[in-house]
Amino acid sequence: MKILIIEDEYSLADAIAETLKKENFTTNIITDGEEGENEALTNVYDLILLDIMLPNKDGFKILNDLRKEKVDTPIIILTAKSEINDKLNGLENGADDYITKPFEIREVLARIQVQLRHIEAETQSEAEAEIEAETEVKTKAGIQEGQGSGRLEFRDMVLI
């Protein structure tokens, strides 16, 4: 599995990459917005971690342009707390999830795994996929029966 990390805070990007490597992911770190977008357009990744405040091109513009170019790779936005209002904006623009900084690296890993499971699930029959995703999310987050399902609830649980 190949993950593209577009993040100008190199130490943070590197810490994420180190954790992902331990889980057998291949990573590529790009610290510039424009270069990051070009990379996402040129090479195929399984998932993209995208910062918002980036040199030369911000994450929302990158997200917009990638979706316009029909890049349907799952994208998880990394956003600072001060940009909290941008979150909904991000999801409306085609992001699959977002994580608020500061975060724990293991949270990033968990969100990535949720997104990648969604992709796997899509290759199965839809009904089967629904049930599996629901079960996995509940098990993972320790959510009690009846409290809902899906990634939004899982995300909210993690943020608590």
Site residues, Ca ion (CB under 5 A): 8, 51, 53
Nearest approach, Cβ of residue 61 and Ca ion (Å): 14
Q: Output b/e per residue, 103-141; b: 16+ Cβ within 10 A.
A: beeeebbbbbebbbbbeebeeeeeeebeeebeebbbeeb
Residue facing Ca ion at closest CB distance? 53
Report the SS3 class of residue 46. Answer: coil
Q: Which is nearer to Ca ion, 11 or 125 (CB)?
A: 11
Nearest approach, Cβ of residue 156 and Ca ion (Å): 24
State phi, psi for 51 to the nearest 5 degrees.
-75, 160
Q: Which is nearer to Ca ion, 11 or 123 (CB)?
A: 11
Could you tell me the two tokens for 148?
């809902």
Other residues' Cβ atoms within 10 Å of the Cβ of residue 154: 22
Nearest approach, Cβ of residue 48 and Ca ion (Å): 15
Q: Which is nearer to Ca ion, 53 or 105 (CB)?
A: 53
- Work out the burial of residue 58: count CB atoms within 10 Å of its CB; fewer than 13 is exposed, 13-18 middle, 19 or more buried: middle
Q: Which is nearer to Ca ion, 51 or 96 (CB)?
A: 51
Q: Which is nearer to Ca ion, 28 or 113 (CB)?
A: 28
Nearest approach, Cβ of residue 9 and Ca ion (Å): 5
CA distance 73 to 150: 19
Nearest approach, Cβ of residue 113 and Ca ion (Å): 24
